[in-house]
Structure 1
């Protein structure tokens, strides 16, 4: 191979490289032509947006913000780590929440159907009326009086007391006051021939004996005083 052939080959190779460079330059020029309108539009919009906040943001503010960011890099890092921990926690409890939340909704719906929330709302209304009617001192006095009343109610929960109250509650339904007539001493003696009247008198006597506890209680208190 002589020198002329070598030169020709190098020229061909150089021509190919120049062609590649020409194609690259053409592609870059086309890309520039395509991007120029978009870049110009973006720059225009950016200038307009910055013009709107020009009165509120100064260069000194940006410098101060940059300084604060640099001074609080550790705090920002800690915040990011805590955020990551929070995300991990949410991902961990997410399966549990998927099962618990529907059950909670079903339970709350059941309470609503049973009228529990309506009862609570009514109770709140009653409390509001009590608050409007009585002072805190009155409520405190009522609360102090409720303590011995609870003891009385506890005594009424005895089976004997409940049985007596249950039977006493049936008495008004069995009494017909329209049939009541004036009765004198002889009428009372005549009525004693009725077995129900006799049983009623026996009950009255038993209750009268029990009422003596009221007197005995007063006497015990007086003697104690």
Structure 2
């Protein structure tokens, strides 16, 4: 192989190596030509947007913000940890809420259909009227009276008291006022022979004794 052939072979190898590089450079130039207008548009858009806040934003504000963030880095970390805990709680509670929320919605719907909320509304209206009519001291006194009456009603709930009240409530139905007659001392004496009269007198004596105030 002559000297000229060796030089030509080397030139061919160099050309083979340079061709891909030239193609890459050509592709980069084409990409640059396509990207440059887009970058220019983006820069112009950013400039326009920044111009709108130019009067409200100063570089010193950004510097101050950075300093405050560095000074409060512990607080920021704490806030992020609390936010993470809140997210973990929501993730944990979500399955339970999917079960309990529909249940309570159904219960509230049942209470509404039964008129419970209407009763509560009426109760609140009554409380508003009491507040408008009576002073706080008078309402407190009314409350004390209701507590005492509740104690009395509790005593009336015993079997003996319920039986006695039931018996007393039946008395008007067994008395015919149209047949009442005036009685004298002799008639009262004769009536004592009736066992029912004697039982009634015994009951009156027990009631009279029970009504005596405690010592």
TM-score, structure 2 length as denominator?
Answer: 0.76
Q: CA deviation at 1:166?
A: 4.1
2:18 maps to 18
1:61 maps to 61
**Count of residue pairs brought into register by the alignment:** 207
2:102 maps to 102
Secondary structure at the counterpart of residue 185 of structure 1: coil
Q: CA deviation at 1:19?
A: 2.6
Rounded Cα–Cα distance in structure 1 between residues aligned with 2:62 and 2:156: 78
Does residue 212 (structure 1) correspond to residue 208 (structure 2)? The answer is yes
Does residue 87 (structure 1) correspond to residue 87 (structure 2)? The answer is yes
Rounded Cα–Cα distance in structure 2 between residues aligned with 1:81 and 1:131: 48
Rounded Cα–Cα distance in structure 2 between residues aligned with 1:50 and 1:120: 58
2:190 maps to none
1:185 maps to 182
Rounded Cα–Cα distance in structure 2 between residues aligned with 1:213 and 1:139: 36
Rounded Cα–Cα distance in structure 2 between residues aligned with 1:130 and 1:107: 31
Secondary structure at the counterpart of residue 146 of structure 2: helix
Q: What does residue range 66-215 of structure 1 map to in structure 2 within 5 Å?
A: 66-166=66-166, 181=178, 185=182, 205=201, 208-213=204-209, 215=211
* CA shift digits 1:36-61 (9 cap, x unpaired): 33322222221122111111111111
Q: What does residue range 25-64 of structure 1 map to in structure 2 within 5 Å?
A: 25-64=25-64
Rounded Cα–Cα distance in structure 2 between residues aligned with 1:2 and 1:89: 85
Q: Which has the higher contact order (CA 8 A, sep 6+)?
A: 2
Rounded Cα–Cα distance in structure 2 between residues aligned with 1:20 and 1:202: 134
CA 2–162 in structure 1, closer or farther in 2 if over 3 Å, else same? farther
CA 40–203 in structure 1, closer or farther in 2 if over 3 Å, else same? farther
TM-score, structure 1 length as denominator?
Answer: 0.73
1:195 maps to none
Which one is further off, 138-147 or 72-81? Answer: 72-81
Rounded Cα–Cα distance in structure 2 between residues aligned with 1:99 and 1:16: 72
CA 32–158 in structure 1, closer or farther in 2 if over 3 Å, else same? same
Rounded Cα–Cα distance in structure 2 between residues aligned with 1:13 and 1:5: 12
CA 79–158 in structure 1, closer or farther in 2 if over 3 Å, else same? same
Rounded Cα–Cα distance in structure 2 between residues aligned with 1:209 and 1:76: 84
* CA shift digits 1:46-102 (9 cap, x unpaired): 112211111111111111011112222233233223322322232222222222222
